[in-house]
Amino acid sequence: MQTDSPIAIVLSSLAVVMAAGSFFTSWLNYRRLKSPQIVVYLDSLQDSGEVRLVVQNLGGGIAYDISFSDYHGLPIHESFRVLVLQSFLKTGIPMLIPDDRRSTSIHLAQDARDEMTNQTYPITVKYFASRHSHRLTICESYQLDYYSFANSIYSMSNEWKSVQALEKIAKALEAK
């Protein structure tokens, strides 16, 4: 087979293009895996009966200078309002490493069923990802909902049950 035949040239060119495409795809996946991915969601704590606002970095890179906006429609229970509005929602989060989170209680689950059941609440998060010497700005909006887990049936955790049993034992010992 001649090395300069048209078929050999086409096949060689095709192999070069495929190798370059494979390299580019691998490079993009590597960058994606090393990028932060901040998510914001509501979570219900069964043991304490509270609804928490959670900010979590699900990505593989560090997120810097995380700030929040458009959260003023979020229903915050009166007993939490002062502290929540001075928390990371206002001050931001300087840095969040991969798999780390911040959370704050915003409502009581029993009241949230009545007040938060049929609505979604917008929140916008802005943060920076560092790529070599570049800062990449990422801005994402979320619609927080409570209704997706409202009226679910929960059981108390084993930790909560253990605490209750220890308190019962302590009371029995004090009575003696």
Q: What is the pLDDT of residue 141?
A: 93
> Which residues of the chain fall below pLDDT 50?
1
Domain boundaries, the chain: 1-33, 36-166
Q: What is the pLDDT of residue 75?
A: 85
36-166: which CATH topology?
Immunoglobulin-like (2.60.40)
Q: What is the pLDDT of residue 48?
A: 73
Q: What is the pLDDT of residue 132?
A: 65
Task: Render the burial of 29-66: b for 16+ CB within 10 Å, e for the rest.
Answer: eeeeeebbbbebebebeeeeebbbbebbbebebbbeeb
What are the angstrom distances between the C-alpha of 16 and each of 5, 9, 10, 11, 163? 17, 11, 10, 9, 64
pLDDT tens-digit profile of 40-72?
Answer: 998 887 667 788 899 999 998 999 999 999 888
Residues 6+ away with beta carbon under 8 Å from 160? 46, 47
Q: How many CB atoms lie within 10 A of CB 115?
A: 13
Q: What is the pLDDT of residue 38?
A: 95
User: Residue 32's beta-bridge partner residues?
Assistant: none
Longest dimension (CA), the chain: 100
Instruction: Please choose, from the candidates 75, 77, 68, the residue with its C-alpha nearest in 3D space to the C-alpha of residue 48.
Output: 77
Rg (CA), the chain: 25
Q: What is the pLDDT of residue 94?
A: 95
- What is the pTM (predicted TM-score) of this model? 0.69
Q: What is the pLDDT of residue 153?
A: 55
| Total count of residues recorded for the chain | 176
d(CA 41, CA 151): 18
d(CA 91, CA 68): 9
